[in-house]
């Protein structure tokens, strides 16, 4: 490996491996470094997303959703499931197989595109050099013209709830319970906490979520958040807002969580506790003091809109830089940087990056929500349409939630959308595409949507923005 690389990517997650593949496709001699070891101690690429994040959690969400459907909702279809059981070990094995297939897929893509995989640790040195240390401890200095940092993020730890093997766990540990705990506590009512709580709630756990903030899903449109809270409560999960954890005590195989709320000091005892209070950028032992890469006041690597750091030829993408911690944001930044290295004028529209919460009903949103526009004093129109009025949703017995589209009051240009309901993550993408091309609500409303489909809710919500919805009474304009 004494030869010089055109690009070295540090980090093999959805930002890093995509950046490496795109750079190689553009004819650049590329290497990708990642330290991840799987359960068998073998080096794999894919990062948190493929190994212990997006993919395994969605596998468990899908398995448990099917189980809950069969247990609670098949009777309406005339289907009777007697003596229904779920084998957790089989469910976990399926999850692991999916992870293995995808990480092997990344290895195959590296081979097909000519990316050099380096299993171990990378450190950025001055002069665009990278110190690479393999898992055996052997170190060498690699030279390159460009460095892309894609080291991602790790779970935030909190002093009142230090991790304890098998009892107090982070999001990774919550994917490995060998059975549903009778009483499960979750600290944090964000995306990760709600999704993991949902998995084990479906399998019979009594789930209590402790959230320090007084507002539920504060970054989500509050009409959506209110509907989500109603659905989560209906499913049997308890969410305690304004509950600030002050400490934990372990006695035998139980953990007692001490917390305070508006009524004073309280406590709750659980069989397992998940700490899911967020993630922070991973930069430990990553940067030499003289490499020229700087961190901002929050510990993220400082970059401009094109993901360039303060050091020429060094870029950073994904969770380790500003913006939402989303795999798809990291991937697109990886492509953008690879193309800009080759002098292509690639860029990302950061105003229309969608977010999804994979509870059921799903929650998805993009652009501005009504609360933000109201606070800014902007004039807008709103169109909403419930899934309860959508034929395909009725046929699927999945009618909770609605689509909400917001447009500028003067230009009718779509400013944002929020969806809570079946396939919300897929439906919101239709609005993302419309927004990318500067569509108005009228434009979206004039398009022909297939019938019967869930996407008709998007169509009707777009029509409703201007009072033209067909399948519901329109709100009178003031």
Q: Which residues are catalytic?
A: 451
> Counting beta carbons within 10 angstroms of the beta carbon of residue 214, is it exposed (0 to 12), middle (13 to 18) or buried (19 or more)?
exposed
354 Cβ contact partners less than 8 Å away, ≥ 6 residues apart: 328, 364, 365, 366, 425, 428, 429, 432
Reduce the DSSP state of residue 230 to 3 states and report it.
helix
- Which helix (H) or strand (E) covers residue 249, if one does? strand 244-251
What is residue 203's three-state secondary structure?
Answer: coil
Given 3-state DSSP classes, what are the helix, strand and coil percentages for the chain, each rounded to the nearest 5? 35, 25, 40
**440 contact partners, CB below 8 Å, separation of at least 6:** 407, 411, 412, 413, 414
Residue 180's contacts (CB-CB under 8 Å, 6 or more residues apart) are 88, 200, 203, 204, 205
The whole-angstrom separation of Cα 373 and Cα 212 is 25
233: which 2 tokens?
Answer: 């409560």
Sheet holding 414-421, edge to edge: 355-357, 362-367, 414-421, 402-408, 380-386
Q: In this structure, how many other beta carbons lie within 10 angstroms of the beta carbon of residue 235?
A: 16
Q: How many CA atoms lie within 13 A of 355 on its CB side?
A: 21
| Dihedral in degrees, nearest 10, Cα atoms 375, 376, 382, 384 | -50
Helices (H), 413-468: 424-436, 441-446, 456-465
Q: C-alpha distances in angstroms, 258 versus 59, 161, 187, 210, 254?
A: 32, 10, 11, 11, 13
Rounded to whole angstroms, how far apart are CA atoms 302 and 314?
Answer: 11
First to last CA, the chain: 70
Where do the DSSP E strands lie in 16-167? 30-34, 116-125, 129-134, 139-149, 153-155
Q: Which tokens hold the place of 477?
A: 């304009």
Is there a contact between 390 and 470 (Cβ–Cβ < 8 Å)? no
The tokens of 474 are what?
A: 């329109």
């Amino acid at each position: 490996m004494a030869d010089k690389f055109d690009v070295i990517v540090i980090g093999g997650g959805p930002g890093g491996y995509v950046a490496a593949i795109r750079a190689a496709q553009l004819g650049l001699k590329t290497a990708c470094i990642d330290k991840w070891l799987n359960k068998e101690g073998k080096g794999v690429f894919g990062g948190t997303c493929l190994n212990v994040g997006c993919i395994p959690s969605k596998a468990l969400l899908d398995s448990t959703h099917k189980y809950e459907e069969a247990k609670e909702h098949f009777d309406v279809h005339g289907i009777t499931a007697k003596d229904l059981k779920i084998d957790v070990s089989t469910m976990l094995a399926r999850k692991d197989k999916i992870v293995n297939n995808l990480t092997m897929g990344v290895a195959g893509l590296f081979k097909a595109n000519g990316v050099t995989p380096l299993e171990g640790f990378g450190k950025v040195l001055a002069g665009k050099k990278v110190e690479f240390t393999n898992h055996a401890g052997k170190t060498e200095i690699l030279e390159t013209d460009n460095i892309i940092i894609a080291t991602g993020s790790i779970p935030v730890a909190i002093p009142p709830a230090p991790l304890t093997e098998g009892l107090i766990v982070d999001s990774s540990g919550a994917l490995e319970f060998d059975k549903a705990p009778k009483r499960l506590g979750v600290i944090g009512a964000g995306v990760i906490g709600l999704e993991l709580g949902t998995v084990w709630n479906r399998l019979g756990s009594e789930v209590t979520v402790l959230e320090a903030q007084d507002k539920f899903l504060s970054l989500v449109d509050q009409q959506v958040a209110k509907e989500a809270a109603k659905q989560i409560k209906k499913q049997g999960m308890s969410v305690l807002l304004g509950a600030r954890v002050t400490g934990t005590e372990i006695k035998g195989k139980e953990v007692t969580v001490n917390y305070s709320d508006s009524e004073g000091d309280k406590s709750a005892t659980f069989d397992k506790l998940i700490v899911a209070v967020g993630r922070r950028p991973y930069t430990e032992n990553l940067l030499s003091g003289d490499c020229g890469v700087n961190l901002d006041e929050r510990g993220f690597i400082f970059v401009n809109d094109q993901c360039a750091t303060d050091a020429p030829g060094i870029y950073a993408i994904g969770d380790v830089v500003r913006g939402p911690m989303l795999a798809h944001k990291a991937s697109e930044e990886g492509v953008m940087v690879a193309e800009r290295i080759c002098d292509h004028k690639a860029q990302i529209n950061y105003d229309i990056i969608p977010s999804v919460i994979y509870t059921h009903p799903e929650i998805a949103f993009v652009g501005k929500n009504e609360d933000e526009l109201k606070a800014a004093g902007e004039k807008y129109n709103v169109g909403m349409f419930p899934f309860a009025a959508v034929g395909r949703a009725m046929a699927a017995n999945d009618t909770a939630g609605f689509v909400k589209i917001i447009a500028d009051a003067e230009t009718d240009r779509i400013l944002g959308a929020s969806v809570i309901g079946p396939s919300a993550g897929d439906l919101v993408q239709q609005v993302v595409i419309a927004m990318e091309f500067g569509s108005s609500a009228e434009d979206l409303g004039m398009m022909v949507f297939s019938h019967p489909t869930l996407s008709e809710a998007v169509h009707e919500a777009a029509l409703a923005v201007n009072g033209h919805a067909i399948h519901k009474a329109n709100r009178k304009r003031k």
